[in-house]
């Protein structure tokens, strides 16, 4: 279902925070699809480090010079969001075999829910295969360096967030 807007992909996730592994996948996706929508899940069950708006702003800033990259947020079922956005493809990154089982389950469940949307897996550069948002947060909280693991502006935001903790998150 290629719409008049060309091939549209949705790259969904939590992105708390955006890592260089995510950036790598978004760039690879942008090279293949006419438009890639980075879709940040609004998840009321989680207590994120950054609000959805903060995560959207940071991601927009990182891709400000790439018109093929759009940043949005969504709630509810991913396939319903993808259908609303007339996307053909869901992009997910696969770092290692350990990601595979859960990702395959999600891809097949999403296909069960909507057969018109295909999941495409992309592998990041080897240098990012061990990078995750969870580890970035843990390392930063314990005083370790996250330079090279996240975009510079995310690193700055992490430092600001640490300096002003306790802000209402959502
Ligand atoms: O970055 P994450 O946390 O691995 O992303 C997970 C995400 C957002 C892709 C997944 O939780 C999701 O799609 N949530 C939306 C709700 C939904 O559609 N659930 C059924 C998935 S099979």
Contacts of 109 (CB under 8 A, 6+ apart): none
How many angstroms separate the alpha carbon of residue 152 from the centre of ligand 1?
A: 26
Around 12, how many Cα atoms within 13 Å sit in the side-chain half-sphere?
23
| R_g of the chain computed on alpha carbons | 16
The one catalytic residue in 35, 55, 92, 133 is: 133
Q: 162: which residues sit within 8 A by CB, 6+ positions away?
A: 140, 141
Catalytic residue among 22, 35, 85, 92: 22
Nearest-CA residue for atom 16 of ligand 1: 77
pLDDT at 169: 58
**Tens-digit pLDDT string for the chain (170 aa):** 555 569 999 999 999 999 999 999 999 999 999 999 999 999 988 889 999 999 999 999 999 999 999 999 999 999 999 999 999 999 999 999 999 999 999 999 999 999 999 999 999 999 999 999 999 999 999 999 999 999 999 999 999 988 886 555 55
Backbone angles phi, psi at 105, to 5 degrees: -60, -45
pLDDT, position 163: 87
Smallest CA-to-CA distance from 31 within 12, 53, 7 is with: 7
**Dist. CA 137 → ligand 1 center (Å):** 20
* Whole-model pTM over 0.85: yes
Task: Write down the pLDDT at residue 46.
Answer: 83
Q: How is domain 8-163 classified at the CATH fold level?
A: Rossmann fold (3.40.50)
pLDDT, residue 160, reads: 93
Domain ranges of the chain: 8-163
pLDDT of residue 165: 65
Return the pLDDT at 161.
Answer: 86
């Amino acid at each position: 279902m290629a719409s008049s807007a060309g091939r549209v992909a949705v790259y969904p996730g939590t992105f708390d925070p955006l890592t260089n592994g995510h950036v790598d996948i978004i760039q690879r996706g942008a090279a293949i699809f006419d438009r890639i929508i980075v879709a940040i899940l609004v998840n009321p069950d989680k207590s994120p480090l950054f609000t959805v708006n903060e995560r959207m702003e940071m991601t927009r800033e990182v891709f400000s010079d790439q018109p093929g990259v759009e940043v949005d947020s969504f709630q509810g079922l991913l396939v319903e969001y993808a259908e609303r956005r007339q996307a053909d493809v869901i992009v997910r990154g696969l770092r290692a075999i350990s990601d595979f089982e859960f990702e395959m389950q999600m891809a097949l469940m999403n296909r069960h829910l909507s057969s018109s949307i295909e999941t495409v897996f992309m592998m990041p550069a080897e240098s990012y295969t061990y990078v995750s948002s969870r580890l970035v947060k843990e390392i930063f909280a314990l005083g370790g360096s996250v330079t090279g693991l996240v975009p510079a502006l995310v690193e700055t935001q992490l430092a600001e967030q640490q300096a002003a903790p306790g802000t209402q998150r959502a």
